[in-house]
Structure formats: structure tokens, C-alpha cells
């Protein structure tokens, strides 16, 4: 008898790395992966924010390890991965979640701010995925890479030009990675969220402009972090074993009339 869908969604014996795990969606992703049975490495520049997360996971009987990681620093990434694998074992799942945004209109967008966003949101995804992918390929047992993109990859938003460009790049990168890494049994997919309640989005969503924006979303609200749980587990687990190169939009219908 084939394993049930519930068994295939389990991650027992797997090791996952979540970047940008110090807050928001990354924090939630780590909790979900642990709940499904994985040991989880949580990475961020703000390691003080990771301490509480790892403590809570361990108190609940899970395995976690916090590591300082700036995804824009190529010299740091191999050492961070080696540290994770020494503590938890080889990485089976990577969730590339680190991201930032600068709100400036195109004509006023400063080059240093452009570089900051592109380096974090796109180059950082490339650097971490390449380093982890090499190890996955070398072991020959496959793995899953989940890149966090955005609906901003496919629709135009004012005032976030570098963010939009970076997330479009993540979508293209995801598809190219999936094509090249399939031979190594490594699946690569992207999640493209619309507006979800998080530390990054809360200031905007609380404004009149934010409320007006949400009023135009067919479901008339922002997403809650837990509404990404099922999709994350599908892409990370054996339940999604034939899914690769997909960029899945989850936005309450936000982009239906903007494509």
C-alpha cells in the first residue's frame, strides 16, 4: 500500500535551512517545518532574534540551530552551511526567504538602495542556493529548494522598483535552477505571496492607502502567515515529488485583474 498523503507531508529525518528567519514569514516557516518533523537551521543577520525561536523549538522537543548569516556575503555562506551540517546533518530543504524592500519612486531611486535590494533578494538567493545545491548534488540524494518570490514579480507596483525587479529575477532563477538541477533529483519551486501580515508589511497595511489597497483584493483582506503552511509543506516534502519549476501565486485573488 502506498504511503498516505499525510505520511508524505511529514519531514521526519530531514534537515531544513530557512534564511531570513528572525521575523515574519521566515519565523513561521521554521516553526512549520519543525512541526512536520524536520530539524531546522534558522539563519539571519540579527542572531539575537533567533535565540528565542530556537529556545521555543527545543522546549517543544524539536531540533534547531541558529546561525549568523548575511546572504550578501559570499565568504560567509560556506562556513555557515558547514556549521549547520556539523550540528544537524546534511541539508535536505532550503527555504530562501531573506528579503528587504526600499520604497522610492524610479526617478528618485538611489543606486546604493538598488544594490541593497538586488543583492539581498536576488543575488543572495543565488548564492545560498548554489552553495546548498552543490552539496545536495554531491550527495546524490536530491532535495527541495523553495524560493520566496512575490506577486510583485508579475504585476507593476509603484515605488518599489528594485523589489519588483528582484522578485521577477527570483522567478526566472527558480525556473532555470529547476531545469538544471532536476538531473540531481533536486526540485526547485517558488512561492509568490501577495500581501501577508508581517513585520515588513504591517506599517503599510495599517495606513489608509493600505486599507484601500486591500479593499480591491477579491477576498478583501491580507493573508495570514499560517495560510502559507500547506503550500510550503507540499513543496518541501515528498507530497510534491513531481513538482519542480513552479511559481505558485497565493494572494487572495489580488492579481486576477492585474495580469
* Residue with grid cell 518541501, as numbered in its chain: 236
Q: What is the C-alpha separation between 182 and 102, in angstroms, rounded? A: 34
Q: What is the C-alpha separation between 192 and 150, in angstroms, rounded? A: 4
Tally the residues of the chain. 259
Query: Please, are residues 77 and 127 in contact by the beta-carbon 8 Å criterion?
Result: yes
**Which whole-number Å values give the CA distances from 169 to 5, 95, 115, 149, in the listed order?**
33, 16, 14, 9
Residue 163: active-site member: yes
Rounded to 10 deg, the angle between the 124-139 and 77-87 helix axes is 50
Burial 146-170 (b: 16+ CB within 10 A, else e): bbbbbbbbbeeeeebbbbbbbbbbb
Q: Which of 163, 184, 204, 213 is catalytic?
A: 163
Helices and strands per DSSP (H, E), number in the chain: 10, 7
Catalytic residue positions, numbered: 163
Amino acid at each position: 500500500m502506498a504511503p498516505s498523503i499525510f505520511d508524505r507531508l511529514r519531514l521526519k529525518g530531514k534537515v531544513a535551512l530557512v534564511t531570513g528567519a528572525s521575523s515574519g514569514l521566515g519565523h513561521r516557516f521554521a516553526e512549520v517545518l519543525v512541526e512536520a518533523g524536520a530539524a531546522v537551521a534558522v539563519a539571519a543577520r540579527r542572531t539575537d532574534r533567533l535565540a528565542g525561536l530556537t529556545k521555543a523549538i527545543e522546549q517543544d522537543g524539536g531540533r534547531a540551530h541558529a546561525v549568523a548569516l548575511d546572504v550578501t556575503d559570499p565568504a560567509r555562506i560556506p562556513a555557515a552551511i558547514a556549521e549547520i551540517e556539523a550540528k544537524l546533518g546534511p541539508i535536505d530543504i532550503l527555504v530562501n526567504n531573506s528579503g528587504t524592500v526600499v520604497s522610492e519612486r524610479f526617478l528618485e531611486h538611489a543606486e546604493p538602495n538598488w544594490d541593497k535590494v538586488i543583492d539581498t533578494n536576488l543575488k543572495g538567493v543565488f548564492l545560498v542556493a548554489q552553495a546548498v545545491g552543490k552539496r545536495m548534488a554531491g550527495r546524490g540524494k536530491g532535495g527541495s529548494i523553495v524560493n520566496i518570490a512575490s506577486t510583485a514579480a508579475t504585476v507593476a507596483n509603484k515605488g518599489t522598483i528594485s523589489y519588483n525587479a528582484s522578485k521577477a529575477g527570483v522567478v526566472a532563477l527558480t525556473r532555470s535552477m529547476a531545469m538544471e538541477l532536476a538531473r540531481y533529483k533536486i526540485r526547485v519551486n517558488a512561492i509568490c505571496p501577495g500581501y501577508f501580515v508581517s513585520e515588513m508589511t504591517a506599517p503599510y497595511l495599517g495606513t489608509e492607502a493600505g486599507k484601500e489597497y486591500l479593499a480591491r483584493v477579491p477576498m478583501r483582506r491580507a493573508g495570514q502567515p499560517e495560510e502559507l503552511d500547506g503550500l510550503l509543506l507540499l513543496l518541501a516534502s515528498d507530497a510534491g515529488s513531481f513538482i519542480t519549476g513552479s511559481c505558485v501565486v497565493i494572494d487572495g485573488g489580488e492579481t486576477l485583474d492585474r495580469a
